[in-house]
Amino acid sequence: MTVTLASLSQRTGLAVLDHLEQSVSIPVVDGLQAQGDLIVIPLSVVASSVRPWIPTTWTDVPPEGVELLRGAAGGNPHTLVADPGTCRWTVDVMDSDRLAIGIFETSAVAYLLHPEHGATGCTPGTYVIRRQREHEGQRSRLVAD
């Protein structure tokens, strides 16, 4: 079945802005992709700086998805969505840059959904999700758009 923004929004109950194209098939990407202030990186690309804690507590991604990050002042969430039984997720992650919020392993296409950015698909694999940072004074701050 073709997965569209409309079908994903209906499946999860998460609303997206109505000016986004609702009916076209969501692109599925094998590799790095960014959704606003989040980036999805194949684990192999950053394996020298990111790895799961051992032991790792994995959680199955439920049908309604996992909220990864919410925007400033409680704003729009980035949500990881997958078919039941195909994707698991952990926050037990060690990152030398301290930007990773978790790792997911998926055996089918998994989707990232956001009300303003729409949706994007990830081919089966293991991925790190990292936040974006800015330089502020002598330190870094995490971006929350």
Partner 1 sequence: MRYADGWDVYAWHGTQVPSWVITGPDVHRIAQEANVEVRRCAIERIGWASYIEQAGLRLIAAAPDPGNPGSELRLYDMRKETKVLLAVNGSVERDGHRRRYGLTVPGFLNDPLDAAGWTYGLSAEQYSLLVRRT
> In the numeric block, which tokens belong to residue 10?
């209906």
The residue among 11, 38, 64 whose CA lies nearest residue 127 is: 38
Site track for partner 1 across 42-81, x = CB under 8 A: ---xx--x----------------------xx--------
Q: What is the amino acid identity at position 105?
A: E
Q: Does 92 bind partner 1 (CB under 8 A)?
A: no
Q: How far is the CB of 34 from partner 1 (least distance, A)?
A: 4
Q: How far is the CB of 118 from partner 1 (least distance, A)?
A: 6
Q: Does 94 bind partner 1 (CB under 8 A)?
A: no
CB contact at 8 A, 130 and 93: no
- Look up tokens 């020298």; give the residue: 48
Closer by beta carbon to partner 1, 30 or else 64: 30
Q: What is the amino acid identity at position 139?
A: R
Closer by beta carbon to partner 1, 86 or else 132: 132
- Who's near 116: CB < 8 A, 6+ residues apart? 16, 17, 20, 36, 76
The residue among 128, 115, 111 whose CA lies nearest residue 28 is: 111
Chain residues in the site for partner 1 (CB under 8 A): 17, 19-20, 27, 29-36, 39, 41, 45-46, 49, 72-73, 95, 97, 99, 114, 116-120, 130, 132-137, 143, 145
